[in-house]
């Protein structure tokens, strides 16, 4: 159950990351979100469909933890709407929690 939640959230936030430049304008920081979004989207698909098993979940956990940490540390330096940055951070925390619970359960 938790793995499915993590996969769904990864797909959702992956699409959001990849399309944020359309919603907030074409700037360097919004364009930098596109590759992150594509990685999240691919990992979300793999986690949701159980491709790779626990190894994929661990890779996704590392990616989400790194992404959330970078977003939190540099939250005041990005030219991205503040509520979007905080939403990404909170969603990353939820994904990490879901992946941990999925790996433990």
Top pLDDT among 77 and 47 is at 47
Q: How many domains does the chain have?
A: 1
Alpha-carbon gap, residue 85 to 44, rounded angstroms: 20
Identify the pLDDT of residue 29.
79
What's the pLDDT score for residue 27? Answer: 84
Give the whole-angstrom CA distance, residue 101 versus residue 51.
18
Residue 79 has φ and ψ, to the nearest 5°, of: -95, 55
Structural domain span for residue 71: 2-104
Q: How does pLDDT run across 56-95, given as a tens digit for each residue?
A: 999 999 999 999 999 999 988 888 889 999 999 999 999 9
Global model pTM greater than 0.85: yes
Strand, coil or helix: 27:
coil
Show Cβ contacts of residue 73 under 8 Å, excluding neighbours closer than 6 positions. Answer: none
25-46: per-residue pLDDT in tens? 888 878 888 999 999 999 999 9
Model confidence at 8, pLDDT cuts 50, 70, 90, reads very high
| Dihedral pair phi/psi, residue 48, rounded to 5° | -65, -30
Q: How confident is the model at residue 24 (pLDDT cuts 50, 70, 90)?
A: confident
């Amino acid at each position: 159950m938790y793995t499915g939640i993590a996969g769904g959230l990864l797909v959702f936030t992956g699409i959001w990351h990849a399309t944020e430049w359309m919603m907030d304008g074409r700037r360097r920081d919004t364009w930098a979100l596109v590759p992150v979004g594509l990685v999240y989207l691919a990992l979300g698909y793999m986690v949701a469909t159980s491709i790779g098993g626990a190894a994929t979940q661990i890779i996704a956990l590392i990616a989400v933890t790194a992404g959330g940490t970078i977003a939190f540390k540099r939250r005041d330096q990005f030219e991205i709407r503040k509520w979007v940055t905080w939403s990404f951070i909170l969603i990353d925390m939820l994904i990490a929690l879901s992946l941990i619970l999925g790996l433990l359960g």
